[in-house]
Each structure stands twice: as structure tokens, then as C-alpha cells.
Structure 1
């Protein structure tokens, strides 16, 4: 496998970030919670894992030396970052202030990248404990993404002042816009990390079953 074919995830991840942050979606995100959530999921569930795979292929030795505990710590750090930015005041500020919005998006990318990169490093380790840490980190992240998505979906009222101040998509009420964002997080965010965790778990089981008794 040549270098270009090995590093295509790195290029793909970078292109997704350009499309999300420079394209029309960024403009729409100021007036739609669902569009804002699409940006978030594109960053943490598409771009971040692709960039992590590309970096792991480019620097396998460095990635495999990431301590096992980093994956667990990173998963809880992402929990704090994601839930923190979805608290009403920070979220409304990110929707109305360009600088805060840039800080929010950068923190989403860094948190997601560290989780995926540390999980991949754990998956490439030889010790079972290290590889299990990567599985736990991805599954914990999947659970809190699913929980937050369900909260946004089932809330009987809008949680953000910007739902009323900002103009939502013309065909959607503010509550429906929020519920659509919850569905996107629940399905995309929950599924991406779940699939990643199960893939890492499958690699452990396959290696274990392949060992001679």
C-alpha cells in the first residue's frame, strides 16, 4: 500500500472540515439548531475518526505509545465539553458570537480527535487491558451522546433562548428544530462511537480466539 492510499483518511477528514466550516452549513447553523448539530456530528463523528485513522497510519509508533488511561480520561473530557457547550447559556452564545462559535467548534474537534486517536492507540497495543480501555472510551462516549440526543428529542419545550431569538428553518418550529437536532445526535453520534467501540471489541475477540489453547 503506497503512502497516498494509506493517508486518504487524513485528506478526507480535512475536506469534511473545510466543507462544514467554510460551506453554507456554517451560515445555516446560526439560525437552525439542527444545522448546528449536523456541524457538530460531522466534526466529531466523521472528520475526527478519519483524521485519527490517518494520523495513526502516518505515525503508528507514536499512536501505539499513548497510555491506556488517556482514552478513558479523554472520553470523560469530551463528555464535559459536549454537555457544557449544550448548556443553554454557552450554546446561545456560540450561536450568536462568531469567536465563541469558533472556540466551540475547535473544542469539539480536539476532544473528538483525542478520543478517537487514543482509542486507536489502545486498539493497536499488545496488552489486553490497554485495548479494553479503548473499547470502554468509545462506548462511554456513545452512551452520553445517545443520552443527550434523547434529552433534546424528548424535551417538551425549547431549551435555548436562541430558539426564539434566532430564526429557525422556515418549515420548522423552534421545538421541532431542537428535536431534529436531538435525533441527529442520537443516531449519528451514538452510532458512530458505538460502531467504533464494537469494532475495537471485535478485534480483541478475534485475536483472543485465534490464540492456540
Structure 2
């Protein structure tokens, strides 16, 4: 059990050390390599692998052990960038139920931001990977349903909006919280000239506003594909 203690990304880095903190864990690199082989020549799949490498291999991984705001960026990259790219690389044969995947993925995202669950995930490697796999896997299921070619464009746009709104609401609640909620980030933000509460507020603000950018991109993608289908039908 001792081998499972501590964050997978290592201890919180000092600012002077951050660019030395690349995560070259062999099992991680192997998993990314296998994923790259699995997506083959798919451009969307290759981009997804690059995004996941940024999240888990680059110094962002170590920074997310120090700052809640960096962890938010890490999660946004997974659920709003890598997951929809993987959904394009591996589309299902039939459109799934976006309502079910939306409800489950939302519940899991919010549950992992419950302070005891979050602190556990960043202090225990098994819990950490449970967090990553469930967030990415359920987001993949959601986007696979939303981005499926058989999904009506109007319906898809509504679900993209819903996906953003639930994240924005969580971000707003974290931004307006009167005190810092996460014990795991009680000290490290001070080295980065943040108070724990200020770091949490920045993380919530990222969820609230900038996280809307990838959702806007995917909304534009759905709308463009729907328009192309209409014009093709009229031709």
C-alpha cells in the first residue's frame, strides 16, 4: 500500500524547478504509445494523444500537484479537448444516449471535486488513476454521443451547451466559496505567490470562463457539420 501513497505527478514543485519536472514514467509512456498505435492515422486521434501527453508528461502534471488552478487546466484538457478528439477518432456505429452520459459524467466530475475525494485522488496513486480514467472515459462516452453523425445538429448543440453550463456552474461555486476547500493545496500555492483561496478562485474562474472556449469550438463543429448536411441534401 505504501507504493500507492503520494501523487503520480510527484511532489509539488518549486517555481525554479518546474521546467525540470517532465514525467517520464515508463508505464505512462507505454500507455500513450499504445494509444498512438491504436488511433493509427487518425488526425483527431493523434491530436488527442498530443493533448494527453501535455497533460501527463509535460511539467503541467507536476504543477497540478501544487496548484488547483493547474489541475483544472489538466482536467479541461482531458474532458473538453482530448475526449471529443478521441470520440471523432473512434465514432460509434449508432448515436448513444447523450442524456445518460451527460448525467453520469457530470455526477462523476462533481463528485471528484468533493474535497475528501479530491484530496484522496492527489495523495493516493490508485485513487488518482480512478479519477483520470473515469473523467476521461465518461467524457469520451458523452462526446461520442454528441458528435455522432447520426445526432441532430440542434440536439448536439444543446448538449454541448449543457456540458459547458454544468462545468461553469461548478466553477462559479468554487470561485465564490468563502474559504479554501482542498487540504492538498493548503501550502504549495504560497510558493507560487498565491493564497490557497486565490488559487482555488482562479481554478474556478478557469472552469467558469476560459473552459467555454473548447465547448464553443465543438459547438461550431456541430453547427458546421449540420449545415453541410443540409446544403448537401438540397443540392
Q: TM-score, normalised by structure 2?
A: 0.73
Looking at secondary structure, tell me which structure has more helix per residue. Answer: 1
The C-alpha deviation readout for 1:128-179, integer Å capped at 9, x for no partner, is x744443332221111011111111222211222232x52252111011111
Gaps of 5+ in 1: 57-62
Deviation at residue 87 of structure 1 after TM alignment = 0.7
Question: 2:108 maps to which residue?
Answer: 81
Does structure 1 retain, via aligned residues, the 8 Å contact 2:152–2:226? no
Does structure 2 retain, via aligned residues, the 8 Å contact 1:153–1:178? yes
Q: How does 1:111-130 map to 2 (within 5 A)?
A: 111-121=138-148, 124-125=149-150, 130=152
The C-alpha deviation readout for 1:92-128, integer Å capped at 9, x for no partner, is 111211221111011111111111111111xx12xxx
Q: How does 1:64-143 map to 2 (within 5 A)?
A: 64-67=93-96, 70-121=97-148, 124-125=149-150, 130-143=152-165
Of 139, 145, 155, the match for 2:167: 145
Question: 1:43 maps to which residue?
Answer: 78
Does structure 2 retain, via aligned residues, the 8 Å contact 1:169–1:177? no
Cα 1:208–1:8 change in 2 (3 A) is closer
Does structure 1 retain, via aligned residues, the 8 Å contact 2:98–2:145? yes
Question: 1:24 maps to which residue?
Answer: 59
Q: Secondary structure at the match of 1:103?
A: helix
Q: Secondary structure at the match of 1:65?
A: coil
The C-alpha deviation readout for 1:64-89, integer Å capped at 9, x for no partner, is 5124xx11211111110110100111
Number of aligned positions between the proteins: 195
Q: TM-score, normalised by structure 1?
A: 0.80
Of 169, 176, 195, the match for 2:198: 176
Establish whether residue 193 from structure 1 lines up as the match of residue 215 from structure 2. Answer: yes
The C-alpha deviation readout for 1:2-31, integer Å capped at 9, x for no partner, is xx9971110110122122112322222222
Q: Secondary structure at the match of 1:35?
A: helix
